[in-house]
Amino acid sequence: MTAFTSCKVAYFPTTHNSPIHSNKGEFQASGIIGSGNLELKTAYAITDNIGIMVNGSYFGEKKEISSGEDIPEEISEHRTLIEIGGGYFTKIGGSVILEVYGGGGIGTVPGDFRNVDYTYDGTQTASMSKIFLQPAIGLGSEMVDFSGVVRISAISINNETRFFAEPGLVMKVGYKNVRFVGNLGFSASLYNSKSFTWDHNPFIIGLGLQFSIGRKY
């Protein structure tokens, strides 16, 4: 049988989790529909300066793929990622907060690489790992949180590691415990080569809802 040789493997960057914590005991949980992912993000301030986060994302879809036959074949693909991180935050003004988070994660992507020597049918997957460093500066208030973020990510798929610069803007609008969340950014590869067997999506777009408890105003 002839293998499908078109490249379907791609890194889809998740949205930025920028808590802009105010104080010890603050907890946040957000559900987000992102560009290529359904995401759940959580963050908790264990002290007045130290925070932790746990993030997860999933996306599944059915698609038709041609193997050169007259009738296309329908397959199912999915991507998963779970990541954990920790960091430092501090107030540098009345409402201005500086934070730096770092962490890592593991997941899976469809295993349809360029020039594979097997017939891809959607069941093949490959492991993905991620390491990130994410500084941000923002404003926190009762109705609006706003932050500018620059995330540096190292992504490994198919024994190939690529580095990405991923700046973005995060806005949370609502009142105290319930807020709408929006995230806009992009992902730029710091090194491009035609020899890579996987691609990436350069867009970071997400909308969702956040619930929080424990913030002191």
Mean of per-residue pLDDT scores for the chain: 89
pLDDT of residue 121: 73
Q: What is the pTM of this model?
A: 0.88
Task: Rounding to the nearest 10 degrees, give the CA dihedral for residues 153, 29, 19, 131.
Answer: -20
Q: Looking at the domain covering 10-213, what would its CATH class be?
A: mainly beta
**Exposed / middle / buried, residue 155 (Cβ in 10 Å: 0-12, 13-18, 19+):** buried
Instruction: Kindly indicate the confidence band of residue 110, based on its pLDDT and cuts at 50, 70 and 90.
Output: confident
